[in-house]
Structure 1
């Protein structure tokens, strides 16, 4: 049996197990299984690996997309450039880290957002998912600014967001977990009253299907989408990586 799974914490919101097991059933794949492995601390990773000798691959989610890297034997060049991983492949040479978030986001974005030379993006969050989104925007030549709760060089804080910045940002991407089930009332603290029909809001959160971030954007006339398409696209990319 080929075993796959997801590491992160918490995982109560995740659709990955349901997605992959439905895929295995639909495609008649009878020698594979997928399960969730909650890891409150990345220091528990070696113990997990030792206890699951049949593992062929893992997905990685918050908060371990960056902290797992020191435990790996090698990084795919794209993952190394991004500085975050969400796919681990178990090989005879060791564990190799990849990033399929980059591919998943880019494909989902192109289905949702009219990329043009005048596009500008605002990225909410600075974690591993944000790094993958930044790489995709670089590839699409969409300039962006990053927003964080904590002051840092070349990073805006939420308190600095004003009408001019919001108006200039045709695309706003939430890469934080704010609004994820079960804390569904939370939302990134941006000035939603400055939004208009010019904005496109992309929330990487997919559970619930419509987050507060999306609801507030929709109420202001913005176009909105969640992260489910990205989830499916990155999952298929991960499956290809595991089976290459």
Structure 2
């Protein structure tokens, strides 16, 4: 932690990840390795682990060298009122995962999760993949929904309590519903390290070889959700490539 503080103060170009309980995060290691490989001296990426989103303004005031930051659970929606501008796509999604500093220290929000998910899942889409189930209703699920709309794939949300017109409860999942939706995307944090023995309460026994299971989680690389789906013959994909793609898109946004 002490070395991290030294690097934050020394960095000429500082970037970071805003979230809560994010010590597991992929982003810090990914970007700092990128800076090292590309010999970008004076660049550093760190975690901004905040208990409440209201701590954001004083944090920003204390970091004049901050050039941009990513946003993760649970602040993808909560960060929006703190921004001066929001990109049209992020506004339509209702969630922000990338923030860029504009002239006059103004903040503009973007969503690169859509790009990351779309181009990560696209190579796996087959003709039978016409409908999807989205597990979870948070900020990430909104980006997935937007991407599926772009791909022309119908979808329903699944949660413990149905809260939208196109959502159902886990307890309502039948064999007919599961076999009518050959894509299943876990957008919930259930199964993330260290809670690796947990998984969404899905009827895995209805899964077939025609199913594609996608988990936004990347740590562990194969969650219990994916292991159970694979056991029944489904094709599986974790969220690591999605994260790499969205990270590179964020880097592009910060630098254009």
Residue aligning to 1:74: 85
State whether structure 2 residue 150 is matched by structure 1 residue 105: no
4+ residue runs over 6 A deviation: none
Q: List alignment gaps of at least 5 residues for structure 1.
A: none
Whether 1:166 aligns to 2:178 is: yes
Report how far residue 51 of structure 1 moved.
1.3
Matched positions, count: 243
Confirm whether residue 133 of structure 1 aligns to residue 166 of structure 2.
no
Q: CA deviation at 1:151?
A: 2.4
Distance of aligned partners of 1:202 and 1:118 in 2 relative to their CA distance in 1, 3 Å threshold: closer
Asked if the contact 2:32–2:44 (Cα under 8 Å) also holds between the matched residues in 1, the reply is yes
CA distance in 2, matches of 1:117, 1:130: 22
* Structure 2 gap ranges (5+): 1-11
Helix, strand or coil: the match of 2:218? coil
Q: 1:89 aligns with which of 100, 118, 122?
A: 100
What is the alpha-carbon distance in structure 1 between the residues aligned to residue 57 and residue 124 of structure 2? 39
Instruction: Say whether 1:237 aligns with 2:242.
Output: no
| 1:190 maps onto 2:216 in alignment | no
In the alignment, is residue 59 of structure 1 matched against residue 70 of structure 2? Answer: yes
Distance 1:118 1:107, change over 3 A: closer
Q: Aligned partners of 1:55, 1:45: CA distance in 2, in Å?
A: 13
Q: Do the aligned partners of 1:117 and 1:142 also contact (CA within 8 Å) in 2?
A: no
Please list the CA deviations of residues 26-65 of structure 1 after superposition, one character each: whole Å capped at 9, or x if unmatched.
1121131100110121111112111111111000000000
Residue 18 of structure 1 corresponds to 29
Please give the alpha-carbon distance, in whole angstroms, between the structure 2 residues aligned to 1:236 and 1:111.
Answer: 19
Quick one: structure 1 residues 66 and 166, their matched pair in 2 at CA, closer, same or farther if it must change by over 3 Å? same
Q: Give the distance between the partners of 1:111 and 1:21, measured in 2 at CA.
A: 29
> When the two structures are superposed, what TM-score results if normalisation uses the length of structure 1?
0.97
Asked if structure 2 preserves the Cα contact closer than 8 Å seen for 1:13 and 1:180, the reply is no
1:30 corresponds in structure 2 to: 41
User: What SS class does the counterpart of residue 168 from structure 1 fall into?
Assistant: coil
Contact 2:128 2:182 in 1 (8 A): no
Aligned to 2:227: 215
Tell me the distance in 1 between the aligned counterparts of 2:200 and 2:148.
Answer: 20
Kindly state the Cα deviation for residue 113 of structure 1 after the two structures are TM-superposed.
2.8
